[in-house]
Amino acid sequence: MDDSAWLVLRGLCRGLHLAGYFGAFGTAFFAALFGPLPGLKRLAWAGFVLALAGGAAWFWLQTAYFASANAPASVFAALPLVAGYTRFGWLTLARMGVLLLAMLCAQAGRWRVAALLAGLGVLAQSWLGHGAAMGGPEGNALLAFSLLHIGAAACWLGTLPALALAVARSDTPQALAQAYSRLGLICVALILASAFLQYWLLIGHLSAFLTTGYGATALLKTVLFAGLLALAARNRFHLTPTLPTSRKALRRAIAWEIALGLILLAAAGVVMQLPPPAMAGMEMG
Amino acid sequence: MRLSLFAAAASLMLAAAPAAFAHAHLKASTPAAGAKVAPSTSALLLTFTEAVQPKFCTVTVLDSMGMHAEQGAPQTVPGHPNELSVKLHLQMAGKYTVDWHALSVDTHKTHGKFSFTVTN
């Protein structure tokens, strides 16, 4: 595989890890907000397993990239160095440790503590981004936008599997769906605002959406997000008012949202591996 | 109408966006690219746009004969995680080529090359 194929693979693994993390956090958050339901613990553990598998694959590929190693033995030898001496290494391991702790709390029925711990792990991902690495006023602004973006995305996309389960099992699905809509609206507003501000700093110019890999992937994310919004609007204005008759249709629509959300997170994983267009021309010498 | 006004404003803001320098790119160096320095110069300092991970950074300094002039591995400067320093032993006058590879804390690798001249 050439470099760009490895880059995409690293990004996809990062996206899967993020999706699993979002799912585990979102399930705990949903239970903390709307009350526990049978099946939520299993859903949270499924998210944990996906976060662990995606994270392990991402860690391996990232180590191979850091050490410029191809042979499995060389990558294996570099793992302790990455774990101990890079922010990526210790932060990824710490985040997985925190998620495991959160899952144990969820297993014990302490959903609020689980949501808080997993939420911290979700937000910590921002310290692997451009803003935290840059420092200074611009870096701090980017870090703040990233925290808002990732937090709001986790609250929305991460709670969708739990919502699908709850819509199927709740005695009052309409009240639940209406309460969820309010959460969704806040998240969407925060995602839109923080995405725009990050694009403004990292992409720099409209033409870069079509002329760079970063811009094109960001554009794909925007299109997928628009699709998610359309589905969410249909759920809110068409399917929710006719509940419980439309229970099946709503569950199907949420399943589509989850599928689109997974693709969007995979694209997000890839975009985080690419150089933002605004930095073009910085090489010296 | 409101939507199109918002879109127009957003387009204008994007068109006028400032540049954010993500990834560890070389911002400055001492000696600088193309500089003329004395043989007593004892260290090379590279300043990047982002914090770097020294365990995965390399800096080589070769004279015109291809002999290494750097001594030891590069280290970050205490309190300045975006600065890499490497000791130099410049034995003779002539052109020296610096080849750097950096890993930033946001997991991206960058590299570059420049040269400076040692004069007696």
Q: What is the pLDDT of residue A1?
A: 52
Cβ within 8 Å, pair B23-A279: yes
What are the sequence ranges of the domains in chain A? 3-278
Positive/negative CA dihedral, A255, A213, A189, B2: negative
B25/A87 CB distance under 8 A: no
Query: Which residue from B17, B98, B107 is facing A204, i.e. has the nearest CB?
Result: B17
A33, exposed or middle or buried, with CB in 10 Å at 0-12, 13-18, 19+?
A: middle
Using one digit for the tens of pLDDT, what is the confidence trace for B67-107?
Answer: 999 999 999 999 999 999 999 999 889 999 999 999 999 88
Confidence of residue B18 (pLDDT cuts 50, 70, 90): very low
Which residue ranges form the domains of chain B, and what is each CATH number?
Answer: 20-118 (2.60.40.1220)
**Which has the higher per-residue pLDDT, B10 or B49?**
B49
What pLDDT, on the 0 to 100 scale, is given for residue A199?
Answer: 84
What is the pLDDT, as a whole number, of residue B12?
42
The answer to whether residues A74 and A67 touch, using CB atoms and an 8 Å cutoff, is: yes
Q: Does domain A3-278 have CATH number 3.40.1350?
A: no
| Closest of B54, B98, B57 to residue B77, by C-alpha | B54
Mean predicted confidence (pLDDT) in A137-146: 90
CA distance A88 to chain B (A): 7
**Contact with chain B for residue A140, Cβ under 8 A:** no
pLDDT tier at B16, thresholds 50, 70, 90: very low
pLDDT tier, A285 (very low <50, low <70, confident <90, very high otherwise) = very low
**Secondary structure of residue B43 in the 3-state scheme:** strand
Taking the C-alpha atoms of residue B68 and residue B80, their distance in angstroms, rounded to an integer, is 26
SS3 B42: coil
pLDDT surpasses 70 at A109: yes
Q: Which residues of chain B lie closer than 8 angstroms to A282, CB-CB? A: 21, 23, 25-26, 49
How far is residue A177's CA from residue B104's CA, in Å, rounded to a whole number? Answer: 44
Taking an 8 Å cut-off on Cβ atoms, the answer to whether B11 and A284 are in contact is: no
